[in-house]
Amino acid sequence: MIEVRNISKTFGKNRVLDDISILFEKGKTNLVIGKSGSGKTVLLKSLVGLHEVDKGMILFDERDFTSMNFKQRKSLRKEFGMLFQGAALFDSYTVEENVKYPLDMFTEISYAEKLERVNFCLHRVDMDKTNALYPAELSGGMKKRVGIARAIALNPIYLFCDEPNSGLDPQTAIRIDKLIKNITEEFDITTIVNTHDMNSVMEIGDKVVFIFEGLKCWEGTKHEILKADNRYLNDFVFATNLTKTLKKVQAKKEK
């Protein structure tokens, strides 16, 4: 469980996060949605300490991250797994070395055990037999999947995914979404996913938080989101013709 209490973040005069409080629940995929530039990435990076917040508190299962020093943060971060918007695989390492890296750095297990773990993680994301490839040889979707494999290598307790399916075709996108949801439920971890994709919301949104211009504008579940009467949320949710038509059909049915 991750609890965010009244955090704010400004860059110069640009107020990106404005007094946001959210409770991200354990064993659920928590979605943060909002249009491009609304502050999703900044929120995620603030949670993990890549940005310092100006005020507010971030608690990881009651442990106050904001008041920790460098060393304490480092040790807490061993419980984090993060998938970046651009996957952020290490260019000079192969797929195998990428996934093995956290194991090399933080575990004492033997090479054979590491390899077994790497292969398990790669299998989990459907990337068997790609061990010897370099990131430059992978497609965007494959990179993201390897990124997920690397993020789960050390059995994280908290998983952060920044737009895991942006720029992917709908089928691959859904596959990655489902993968994240399965991992979350299987290992009972706290997962936060940034997205602006309504498909993902309807697919895996156990809990959804809508960010608008740095404010938390709405929160609820995927079932509630279609019936919500928040204007900004509706503009966001029903931005495409497909969703608009769906809504009309739904309305007709109800009559």
Ligand X SMILES: Nc1ncnc2c1ncn2[C@@H]1O[C@H](COP(=O)(O)OP(=O)(O)OP(=O)(O)O)[C@@H](O)[C@H]1O
Residues at the site binding ligand X, with contacts judged by CB under 6 A = 11, 14, 16, 34, 36-42, 196
CB of 41 to ligand X, least distance (A): 3
- Amino acid in the structure at residue 181: K
Partner interacting with residue 39 (select from Mg ion, another protein, ligand X, none; CB below 5-8 Å by kind): ligand X
From 21-29, 44-52, 116-124, 193-201, give the range in contact with another protein by CB under 8 A: 44-52
Closest CA to 156 of 252, 57, 60, 41: 60
Q: Which residues pair with 218 in a beta bridge?
A: 210
**Burial of 179 (C-beta count, 10 Å sphere; 0-12/13-18/19+):** buried
Closest CA to 89 of 164, 141, 45, 144: 144
With CB under 5 A as the contact rule, the residue among 30, 41, 98, 165 that binds Mg ion is 41
Query: Should residue 65 be labelled a site residue for another protein when binding is judged by CB under 8 A?
Result: no
- Nearer residue to Mg ion within complex by CB, 43 or 154: 43
- Nearer residue to another protein within complex by CB, 17 or 146: 146
Quick one: angle between helices 95-106 and 140-152, nearest 10? 20
Binding site for another protein (CB under 8 A): 45, 48, 50, 74-78, 80, 82, 84-86, 88-92, 101-102, 104-106, 154
